[in-house]
């Protein structure tokens, strides 16, 4: 081989959602903090994200996590999430993947029966408490960054769909949360394509008409995802997050359920100390606990814990030959949805 770039990754998933973790080949990204590095990836040089995420080296149904030494003394590692549309500030499932990889590979020493790993993300510090036995990270409980409601019951007129009512809340990134029955759908594997198509339309329209900004991190200033929320026949929570440019989160979604708990608390549906089980479109589950209240800027906020499991399922190495005509990758709308908007 005569590769001019080589990146080594460990393949992992958290409750079905794939989160690759880069363990070699990326020396650094400009910027002092994780937020600075994320902004550089999104605003200055996007080539590393495209190289890792786009075809032929990546695929739509995954994220890639970049590991870095932390810039904070109270963190063990820093990381940034690369996805199909951009680099993102926080993800619960990816935090579980990163924690599992750090501990099971020995990059962070594992202590049984519990190891706490502090992760620096662009959205803030996340404490990951891992239950460990016989060298295995059996589950991870994340103390998520504070969640808060931006606005409830926003009505937006979406082209080809009509008027929908949604709540906008923050759970590590901004979410629009809405009941899919408004658009004649329920959360099930059979409806995955319909949920994605509708969610992408709603996502684009909301970001056109809404102006939002995190009160303490102004660089986080757009809705990242639409999350459809409902209940199963047994009364348990179910949710499905649409990730641009067009796929469903396979996990129950940690940041989404953090935002959802903030909304439910604002509506008086949950109180501090309440625990719920949140299911995904494929039936996997996170345990979610509302354990406190705080403020973010002048906004009342909630503190949530999210518990899930991660598994390492492979080792992976990607590279590029100097003669490869697709060094930055490519997208096609058959699997990536409205892909061409991302290339312009």
Tens of pLDDT along 80-114? 999 999 999 999 999 999 999 999 999 999 999 99
Which of the following is catalytic: 97, 132, 137, 253?
Answer: 253
User: Do both 297 and 217 map to the same domain?
Assistant: yes
Q: Tell me, what's the pLDDT at 163?
A: 97
Known catalytic residue at 253 = yes
Structural domain count of the chain: 2
Place of tokens 């794939």: 18
Mean predicted lDDT score pLDDT of the chain: 95
Same domain for 151 and 132: no
Res. 343: pLDDT tops 80: no
72 lies in the same domain as 192: no
Residue 338 pLDDT = 66
Q: 195 φ, ψ to 5°?
A: -65, -40
SS3 content of the chain, % helix, strand, coil (to 5): 20, 40, 35
DSSP letter assigned to residue 147: E
Considering the candidates 52, 63, 91, 240, report the single residue annotated as catalytic: 91
Residues 293 and 272 in one domain: yes
119 shares its domain with 157: no
Whether residues 163 and 121 share a domain: the answer is: no
Q: What is the CATH number of the domain that holds 43?
A: 3.10.310.10
Output the pTM of the full model: 0.96
Instruction: Check whether residue 160 and residue 49 sit in a common domain.
Output: no
User: In the prediction, which pLDDT does 246 show?
Assistant: 85
Q: Is the peptide bond before 231 cis (omega within 30 degrees of 0)?
A: no
pLDDT of residue 122: 98
Residues 166 and 216 in one domain: yes
Residues 273 and 177 in one domain: yes
Token look-up 């003394």 returns: 73
Q: What angle do CA 171, 172, 177 make, to 5 degrees?
A: 40
Domain span holding position 221: 147-305
Q: Known catalytic residue: 52?
A: no
* Whether 156 and 295 share a structural domain: yes
| pLDDT value of residue 335 | 83
């Amino acid at each position: 081989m005569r590769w001019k770039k080589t990146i080594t990754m460990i393949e992992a998933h958290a409750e079905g959602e794939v989160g690759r973790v880069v363990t070699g080949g990326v020396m650094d990204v400009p910027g002092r903090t994780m937020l600075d590095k994320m902004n550089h990836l999104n605003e200055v040089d996007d080539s590393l994200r495209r190289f890792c995420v786009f075809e032929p080296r990546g695929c739509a149904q995954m994220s890639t996590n970049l590991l870095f030494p932390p810039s904070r003394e109270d963190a063990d590692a820093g990381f940034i999430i690369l996805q199909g549309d951009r680099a993102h500030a926080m993800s619960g499932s990816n935090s579980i993947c990163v924690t599992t990889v750090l501990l099971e590979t020995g990059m962070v020493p594992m202590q049984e029966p519990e190891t706490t790993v502090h992760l620096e993300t662009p959205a803030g510090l996340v404490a990951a408490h891992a239950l460990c036995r016989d060298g295995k990270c059996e589950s991870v409980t994340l103390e998520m960054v504070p969640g808060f409601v931006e606005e409830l019951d926003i009505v937006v007129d979406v082209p080809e769909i009509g008027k929908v009512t949604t709540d906008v809340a923050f759970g590590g990134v901004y979410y629009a949360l809405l009941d899919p029955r408004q658009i004649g759908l329920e959360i099930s594997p059979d409806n995955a394509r319909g949920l994605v198509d509708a969610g992408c339309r709603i996502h684009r329209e909301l970001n056109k008409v809404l102006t939002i900004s995190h009160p303490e991190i102004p660089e986080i200033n757009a809705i990242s995802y639409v999350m459809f929320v409902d209940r199963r026949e047994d009364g348990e929570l179910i949710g499905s997050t649409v990730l641009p440019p067009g796929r469903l989160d396979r996990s129950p979604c940690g940041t989404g359920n953090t935002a959802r708990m903030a909304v439910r608390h604002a509506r008086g549906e949950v109180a501090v100390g309440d625990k719920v089980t949140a299911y995904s479109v494929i039936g996997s589950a996170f345990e979610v606990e509302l354990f406190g209240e705080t403020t973010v800027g002048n906004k009342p906020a909630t503190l949530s814990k999210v518990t899930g499991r991660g598994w390492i399922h492979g080792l992976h190495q990607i590279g590029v030959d100097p003669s490869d005509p697709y060094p930055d990758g490519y997208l096609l709308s058959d699997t990536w949805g409205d892909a061409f908007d991302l290339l312009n």
